[in-house]
Amino acid sequence: MTLDAGGTSFRFSALSGSRAVTPVVTMPSHGDDLGLCLANIVKGFEEIREACPARPAAISFAFPAPADYPCGIIGDLYNLPGFRGGVALGPMLQEKFQVPVFINNDGDLFAYGEASCGFLPYVNGLLEAAGSPKRYRNLLGVTLGTGFGGGIVRNGDLFLGDNSMAGEIWQLRNKLDPGVSVEEGASIRAVRRVYAEEAGIAMAQAPDPRVIAQIATGDAPGHRAAALEAYRRMGEVVGDALATALALVDGLVVVGGGLSNAHRLFLPAVVRELNGTYAPSERTGRRRLETEVFNLEDADELARFVSGSPCQVTVPLSGATVRYDRLSRLGVGVTRLGTSQAIALGAYAFAVRAMSQGGHCVGPAP
């Protein structure tokens, strides 16, 4: 059983074999009243349990931070202000339903879903079909929407960190405004703010990013140059943050969230930044990354990425040859599952893997 926890509503469902097996049950969150909020969480899972074709084996879902996710304790939340002082949500649900309970961050579960059955197997499938021996095992997932979320998967394992704070890419500096976090340049409000500045209007008059994207493509009236600049600037800021992260992660990048629908407007700027240098001059500048990065939503770049640069090299002191791909490369693309579906599948896959390995669930095992 799983839960999509929003600031105004909770959406409950259940999966088996990575497929939905119940209708979605929606409950108001009552985020400012802890008692009502917890009651609706229990009620939602009870309704889903009744709708399940078999007895549920676990509960696994995403919930906002700050939190001690391994212990299932939720900290002081902004969108759900009733949570204050530490609320043992995981142990409560485990005691109530007598099944293992797993709680994680939505950015983590998005990355895990795309690594399990989305972007990562998609890319590796393309490489296999092309006869390439290259395979990817690491994935950085980021979501662009109200905020800038992230998650890291390393060789099939979700990297959580010692304080459940790994992958918090939003906390990096903003390249274009170092006094604030990167989220201020990589979110819905960032796109609206830049559009307003460039169009010479008040922030309150700026349309939502979906309309700004339509203006940029010429499909809606408005200040087209401002719309193009809003998405280009976001791409530059996101690319700079990803360059910092990829220097440590060295994996593919998948982008989700509501703003990912406009990827054609900002992904070229992201990849341009990733392939850039520290100094203005290509001749004297040092590259941001040792690897070349490709836009996997561009057909030509995807073809170059898949083909690589294979050759045969001779083994010293021997006449034998071995295959060598001279192109060290990474790729950036958008979600293959849809953000909500990736989070749900990530929650499912995380619970299945943890239980199969005798892994940790919150509190004592039921």
Beta carbons within 8 Å of 222's beta carbon, 6+ residues apart: 199, 207, 211, 212, 215
* 366 preceded by a cis bond (ω within 30 of 0): no
The whole-chain average pLDDT of the chain stands at: 93
336 with 346: CB under 8 angstroms?
A: no
pLDDT value, residue 253: 98
pLDDT value, residue 366: 42
CA distance 289 to 244: 9
Domain boundaries defined on the chain? 2-106+341-356, 119-335
Residues 2-106+341-356: name the CATH superfamily. ATPase, nucleotide binding domain (3.30.420.40)
Q: Which phi and psi (to 5°) does residue 74 adopt?
A: -95, 135
Tell me what the mean pLDDT of segment 274-282 comes to. Answer: 80
Grade residue 358 by pLDDT with cuts at 50, 70 and 90. confident
The candidate with the shortest Cα–Cα distance to 270, out of 169, 186, 177, is: 186
As a whole-number percent, the residues of the chain with pLDDT over 90 amount to 86
Our separate counts of H helices and E strands in the chain read 10, 20
Tell me what the mean pLDDT of segment 345-353 comes to. Answer: 93
Q: CATH number of the domain at 119-335, out of 3.30.420.40, 3.30.1280.10, 2.40.37.10, 3.30.1330.10?
A: 3.30.420.40
CA distance 267 to 286: 22
pLDDT value, residue 163: 86
Hey, which residues does 334 pair with through a beta bridge?
Answer: 255
Check whether 364 has a pLDDT greater than 50.
Answer: no
Grade residue 172 by pLDDT with cuts at 50, 70 and 90. very high
CA distance 82 to 90: 16
Per-residue pLDDT of 186-215, as tens digits, reads: 999 999 999 999 999 999 999 999 999 999
Question: Is 119-335 in the same CATH topology as 2-106+341-356?
Answer: yes
Tell me what the mean pLDDT of segment 40-50 comes to. Answer: 97
Grade residue 285 by pLDDT with cuts at 50, 70 and 90. confident
Beta carbons within 8 Å of 286's beta carbon, 6+ residues apart: 277, 278, 279
Grade residue 8 by pLDDT with cuts at 50, 70 and 90. confident
158 with 123: CB under 8 angstroms?
A: no
CA distance 327 to 331: 12
Check whether 281 has a pLDDT greater than 60.
Answer: no
C-alpha 90: how far from chain center = 23
pLDDT value, residue 165: 87
pTM: 0.91
107 with 151: CB under 8 angstroms?
A: yes
